[in-house]
């Protein structure tokens, strides 16, 4: 059973959240930030996050412009968008609805042994992710109180 790593969110989603928070930090007053700088800034594979941002772009969650001086940026709406919105866009909402031990459907009338406790956890996760906004970390990132990569 060579399990390497289990996580709550997929890599796709982790990169997506870090990238969006990074873009929020680096696209103030009309500036844009390029994909290679994003990749460097969050320590992640460039082409992979490019694809992730394309998905978010198609859904109107992030903005981008091609060509010289192009790059990614967030409008006011994007800056206020919750982390939950990003998670839903990339991972779907199974994290918020699925059964903790894999029953095909979570249902209170056909509950698994940990249904009540797990539902509570799921709701806490959702509350947390709904409550946090992409743009709210900018200042603390500037001040070096928060980080988006290891070093």
Partner DNA sequence: ATAATAAAAGACAAAAATGTCTTTTAATCG
Partner DNA sequence: CGATTAAAAGACATTTTTGTCTTTTATTAT
Question: What gap in Å lies between CA 90 and CA 102, rounded to an integer?
Answer: 20
Three-state SS at 40 = helix
The nearer residue to ligand FES, 74 or 99, going by C-beta atoms, is: 99
Stretch that binds a copy of itself, among 9-17, 31-39, 60-68, 73-81 (CB under 8 A): 9-17
Place of tokens 């870090």: 18
What the block records as the tokens of 84 is: 């939950």
Residue 134 within binding range of ligand FES, rule CB under 6 A: no
DSSP 74-133: --HHHHH-BHHHHHHHHHTTHHHHS-TT--SS--TTS--TTHHHHHHHHHHHHHHHHH-B
Burial category of 96 from C-beta neighbours within 10 Å (exposed 0-12, middle 13-18, buried 19 and up) = middle
Q: Which of 102, 128, 104 is nearest to 17 (CA)?
A: 128
Residue 34 within binding range of a copy of itself, rule CB under 8 A: no
Give, as ranges, the residues between 102 and 131 that touch a copy of itself (CB under 8 A): 102-105, 110-115, 117-118, 120-121, 124-125, 128
* Residue 94, contacted partner among ligand FES, DNA, a copy of itself, none, CB below 5-8 A by kind: a copy of itself
Q: For residue 129, how many other CB atoms are within 10 A of its CB?
A: 19
The nearer residue to DNA, 63 or 136, going by C-beta atoms, is: 63
Residue 1 within binding range of a copy of itself, rule CB under 8 A: yes
Residue 146 within binding range of ligand FES, rule CB under 6 A: no
Residue 115 within binding range of ligand FES, rule CB under 6 A: yes
Residue ranges binding a copy of itself (CB under 8 A): 1, 3, 5-15, 17-18, 21, 51-52, 55, 83, 90-92, 94-95, 98, 100-105, 110-115, 117-118, 120-121, 124-125, 128, 132, 137, 140-141, 145-150
């Amino acid at each position: 059973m060579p399990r390497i790593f289990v996580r709550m969110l997929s890599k796709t989603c982790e990169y997506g959240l870090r990238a969006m928070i990074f873009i929020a930090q680096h696209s103030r007053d009309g500036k844009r930030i390029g994909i290679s700088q994003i990749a460097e800034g969050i320590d992640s594979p460039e082409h992979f996050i490019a694809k992730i941002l394309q998905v978010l772009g198609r859904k109107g969650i992030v903005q981008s412009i091609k060509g010289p001086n192009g790059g990614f940026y967030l409008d006011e709406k994007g800056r206020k968008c919750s982390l939950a919105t990003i998670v839903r866009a990339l991972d779907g909402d199974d994290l918020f609805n699925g059964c903790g031990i894999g029953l095909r459907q979570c249902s209170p009338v056909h509950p698994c042994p940990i249904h009540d406790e797990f539902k509570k956890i799921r709701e806490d996760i959702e509350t947390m992710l709904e409550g946090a906004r992409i743009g709210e970390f900018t200042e603390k990132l500037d001040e070096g109180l928060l980080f988006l990569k290891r070093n």
